[in-house]
Structure 1
Amino acid sequence: MIPQSEIVIMAAVGVLSILLPFIFMFILRKKFKIRWLPFILGIGVFLVFALILEQILHVIVLSPQPDGTIALISSSPWLYVLYGIFAAGIFEETGRLFAFLLTKKHYRDVDSAVSYGIGHGGFEAAAVVGLGMLNGIILAVMINSGSDAISALPVAAEDLVVSQPWYMYLIAIMERVIAMSLHIALSVIVFSAVMMKGKWWLYPLAILLHALANTAAAMMQAGLLTNIYLMYAGLIIMAAITIFIAVRLVKDYRTNIYSL
């Protein structure tokens, strides 16, 4: 049986993940003006580049089995890690590059980059955590009600909900806060690559930073890292480095390129 309190926590976390972009807007409103087209564009580009194009490549390269297993993880775990982190970095940062080149003539202030990042990261939070919590709630209700349909589910799916400590759901939302901050910072970096003369190298830098931020999580998936706290430490460190670079670029851009 899944405690009702745990189901309530899953529901609260799911709702909070959907509200995250609006919370970020509220917090950042004094420093940045929200540009709604870049915000919507961030959602659309993430959908196309990360959830469609990148996933098509994963199917071709990784050839996952019907039960979700991937042979490359066991045969060459480090190759799996390298592929995973750079596939994510290349697709998502190229999506940002495409978006900023598309809107370059009409959205020249750095606020548009922040708005894009909120849309990009916010949609990812809803897709990863929101849908994950919804699936967990459905599964928990099925388990508690003794539904016959539960016998058709993979054992691992049931075990995942049964064995999940309640505080892990709260950690999931904190991870999304860090990830959204990272996405906003990366958006500023790629925006600067497009808008600032001679700064084209910021685009490959964004790919590298994105890849490094995902490294610890990919290592966990491949079984090369087992300590979840080290995984989050790696994410936090890379997010902090990326945010530091983005803050410097915002100041430079507003001072020397586009004064608000």
Structure 2
Amino acid sequence: MVGTSQIILMVIAGLASVLLPFVFILVLRRRFKIQWIPILIGSAIFIFFAMVLEQISHFLVLQPKMDGTIPLLDKSPWLYVLYGVLAAGIFEETGRLIAFLLMKRKYNRIDSAISYGIGHGGIEAIIVLGLGMLNSVVFSIMINNGSSAVDNLPPALIESIAGTSAFTYILSIVERVFAITVHIGLSIIVFTSVMKKGKWWLFPAAIVLHALTNVTAAMMQAGLLDNMWLMYAGLMIMTLVIVWIAYKQVA
């Protein structure tokens, strides 16, 4: 059985994923001119490069089996981590680069980079956290109602939903706050590489920074790290590094 409090927190986390982009808009509009077109472009680029092209790459490179197992993960977890973090960095930052090259004439102010980052990070929050929580709520109701469809679900999935602590759902919201902040920072960095002469090196730097941001999460997924707090510490440290570098470009 899945507790009622757990289901309520799933719903709250899911709603938070939708509201977070608007919270960032409300906070940042005090200093920057938030623009809807770059926000929509950021959302579209994330969907195409991360959810389509990157997933095709995962299918071709990782070659997952019908049961969901990934040979590379079993044989060489460190190589799996290296591929995963670099793939995320290359696909998403390349999408960012192409977007800013196309936006260069009309949207050439730093406000556009920040707006883009909100769109990129915001749609990721909705897809990763929002849809994830929606699935968890549906599965939880099925489990509690004793639906026969539950028999077709992987036992690990049922155990994960039933065994997730309430605190984890709160942390998932905090994680998305950091993630959106990272995407805004990386957007500023790549934007600068496009708009300022002699700053081209910031684009490959953004790929590396993006990859490093995902390292502890990828290690957790690969079973190389089992301490959740170390995973979040890695995310927080990289968020501060990226924000500092982005601030240097704006200041």
TM-score using structure 2 length: 0.99
> Any idea what SS the aligned residue of 1:230 has?
helix
C-alpha distance in 2 between matches for 1:231 and 1:146 = 35
Q: 1:73: Cα distance to partner? A: 0.9
| 1:152-209 alpha-carbon deviations (Å, 9 max, x no partner) | 1111111111110011001001000000000000000000000011000000000000
C-alpha distance in 1 between matches for 2:152 and 2:167 = 28
Matches within 5 A, 1:95-110: 95-110=95-110
Q: 1:222: Cα distance to partner? A: 1.3
Q: 1:117: which partner in 2? A: 117
Q: 1:162: which partner in 2? A: 162
1:49 and 2:49 equivalent?
yes
C-alpha distance in 1 between matches for 2:173 and 2:180 = 10
Q: 1:66: Cα distance to partner? A: 2.0
C-alpha distance in 2 between matches for 1:124 and 1:234 = 19
Q: 2:216: which partner in 1? A: 216
Q: 2:38: which partner in 1? A: 38
Q: 2:204: which partner in 1? A: 204
Q: 2:130: which partner in 1? A: 130
> Any idea what SS the aligned residue of 1:69 has?
coil
Q: 1:87: which partner in 2? A: 87
Amino acid at match of 1:78: W
Amino acid at match of 1:167: F
Please, what is the CA RMSD of the aligned residues?
0.7
C-alpha distance in 1 between matches for 2:31 and 2:70 = 44
| 1:131-171 alpha-carbon deviations (Å, 9 max, x no partner) | 11001000110011111111111111111111100110010
Q: How many residues align?
A: 251
Q: 1:67: Cα distance to partner? A: 2.2
C-alpha distance in 2 between matches for 1:134 and 1:107 = 35
Amino acid at match of 1:49: F
Q: 1:72: which partner in 2? A: 72
Q: 1:224: Cα distance to partner? A: 1.1
Matches within 5 A, 1:144-159: 144-159=144-159
C-alpha distance in 2 between matches for 1:85 and 1:9 = 29
> Unaligned 5+ residue runs, structure 2?
none
Q: 1:241: which partner in 2? A: 241
Q: 2:12: which partner in 1? A: 12
Q: 1:112: Cα distance to partner? A: 0.2
C-alpha distance in 1 between matches for 2:65 and 2:243 = 38
C-alpha distance in 2 between matches for 1:110 and 1:66 = 46
> Any idea what SS the aligned residue of 1:82 has?
helix
Taking only the aligned residue pairs, the percentage that are identical comes to: 56
| 1:57-113 alpha-carbon deviations (Å, 9 max, x no partner) | 000000111222111112111111110000000000000000000010001110000
1:27 and 2:24 equivalent?
no
Q: 1:257: which partner in 2? A: none
C-alpha distance in 2 between matches for 1:146 and 1:219 = 35
> Unaligned 5+ residue runs, structure 1?
252-260
Amino acid at match of 2:141: V
TM-score using structure 1 length: 0.95
> Any idea what SS the aligned residue of 2:64 has?
coil
